[in-house]
């Protein structure tokens, strides 16, 4: 089963209750926080509700392993004590749906930096389809994550 990376890029201040509840379900409290979830119909329906404050797309194994190595935390401050080969093999089995983040004891929440060289041309106030930042971006999420890690 494919996995989707969701990044909160806009504030939920002034947004309606459904958007705030959707962000709470995914656990996205801070700006530039990221979570990796299954590509299920339930998650897709929730993403349609919070589409105006997040960007999301399909994550690949290379980006997931880099995200785990650089930003993966066991607790709030403790990094992962694992080798790169172990993380790469875990990433492949996680994307296939064979393993979960709890198997290696990692939280499924990653705090990221703002992207290097900023967002796209129109910034955070336009959807990705119109050269903005929020909404569905498909495989291009990997390029954004590379700049934010």
CA distance 63 to 94: 13
**Would you give per-residue pLDDT tens digits along the chain (149 residues)?**
789 999 999 999 999 999 999 999 999 999 999 999 999 999 999 999 999 999 999 999 999 999 998 988 887 678 887 787 888 899 999 998 898 888 888 888 999 999 999 888 888 888 998 999 999 999 999 999 999 99
Tokens of 81: 């004590």
How distant is the alpha carbon of residue 50 from its chain centre? 14
State which CATH number among 3.30.1390.20, 1.10.8.640, 2.60.40.10, 1.10.3720.10 fits the domain covering 3-140.
3.30.1390.20
How confident is the model at residue 74, as a pLDDT?
83
How confident is the model at residue 106, as a pLDDT?
86
Domain ranges of the chain: 3-140
**8 bridge partner residues:** 54
How confident is the model at residue 135, as a pLDDT?
93
How distant is the alpha carbon of residue 59 from its chain centre? 8
């Amino acid at each position: 089963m494919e996995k989707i990376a969701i990044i909160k890029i806009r504030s939920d201040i002034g947004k309606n209750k459904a958007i705030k509840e959707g962000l709470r379900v995914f656990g996205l409290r801070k700006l530039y926080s990221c979570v990796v979830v299954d590509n299920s119909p339930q998650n897709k329906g929730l993403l349609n509700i919070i589409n105006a404050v997040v960007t999301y797309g399909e994550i690949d194994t290379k980006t997931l392993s880099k995200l785990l190595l650089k930003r993966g935390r066991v607790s709030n401050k403790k990094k992962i004590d694992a080798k790169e080969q172990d993380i790469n093999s875990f990433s492949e089995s996680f994307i296939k749906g064979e393993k979960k983040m709890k198997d290696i004891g990692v939280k499924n929440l990653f705090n990221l930096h703002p992207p290097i060289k900023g967002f796209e041309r129109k910034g955070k106030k336009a959807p990705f389809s119109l050269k903005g930042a929020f909404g569905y971006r498909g495989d291009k999420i990997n390029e954004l994550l590379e700049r934010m890690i």
